[in-house]
Chains A and B, each alone.
Chain A
Amino acid sequence: MNYNSNEMNEQDEFLKQMENLQVPGIDPPSHQKTVKMAIMNAERSAALGVWLIIVPCYFLFCVFMYYYSHMQGSWFGAMFKLMTGLLADKPYMDYLAPVILVVLPIICIIINALAIIHVNTRQLSPDKQRVKEFSVTIKVKLWNIVLILLSLAVVLTFIGYVMTENISIKN
């Protein structure tokens, strides 16, 4: 009997100890799963982006073919000859070349970047009201990223062409 009462006391103590245990608090806001909505639809942006980038890519392909078949002169020289040849008869030639090689790729970059980038600012904790966290999330969508890189390549090629032409004219 004595043995049993001792055992009961131990059990009671154990239960009391368990009841008084401090459970670690879970802070629901910090564990909230945030829905990261992009501004534009990724598939729609990719579909339009292909059309925006296909025109400058075709033009650069023509430049490459011209350069490859003639081989004399430079890549940018071929670009200049094709620009005057392909677009010369157009009355809006002065605007068409920059629009095709700069404006269209930049629009492509913007719509595709808006489709995969999510920007968010939030307070780190309620105690530190001035400290804010700025987070940028990029969705890994292959087609959107490829289109952005292609557009960047086209814009940089055109900038290279403009700089080379200006330098050669000044000299």
Chain B
Amino acid sequence: MIMKLNWFVRKGLFYRPVTIMGWIILAAAVVFAVYTFIDINNTSHSVSDVLINFVFNLLIIGLFYTLIAYVSEKKPARVE
């Protein structure tokens, strides 16, 4: 029996949180992205270096967020 979580709702490519748990996950992703940016900014030597590394990390964070949202989203009624 698969547990229905219903934490997110898909809007096109993106997932919008609809429960407190969903918002906590989104907040954690944003906080981690900010932390990553500060960390990269401290160790990089140029703006392009910061952006190249940060965008890469941001995409990976977005991928993990989407994976979590994908398995815990509110599934639409199946119509084929």
- Residues on A close to B: CB < 8 A? 35-38, 41, 43-44, 47-48, 50-52, 54-55, 58-59, 62, 86, 89, 104
Cβ of B62 under 8 Å from chain A: yes
**Interface class of chain B by DSSP:** helix
> Does B53 lie within 8 Å of A47, measured CB to CB?
no
What residues make up the interface of B, taking CB atoms closer than 8 Å to A?
10, 12-13, 43, 52-53, 55-56, 59-60, 62-63, 66-67, 70, 73, 75-76, 78, 80
> Contact between B56 and A50 (Cβ–Cβ < 8 Å)?
no
Q: Which of B52, B53, B59, B78 contacts A41 (CB 8 A)?
A: B78
In the bound complex, residues from chain A placing their C-beta under 8 Å from that of B67 are 48, 51
- A86 touches which one: B12, B53, B62, B73 (CB < 8 A)? B53
Query: Which A residues lie within 8 Å of B73 (CB)?
Result: 44
Question: Which A residues are CB-close (under 8 A) to B13?
Answer: 47, 50-51
Partner of A51, one of B55, B56, B66: B66
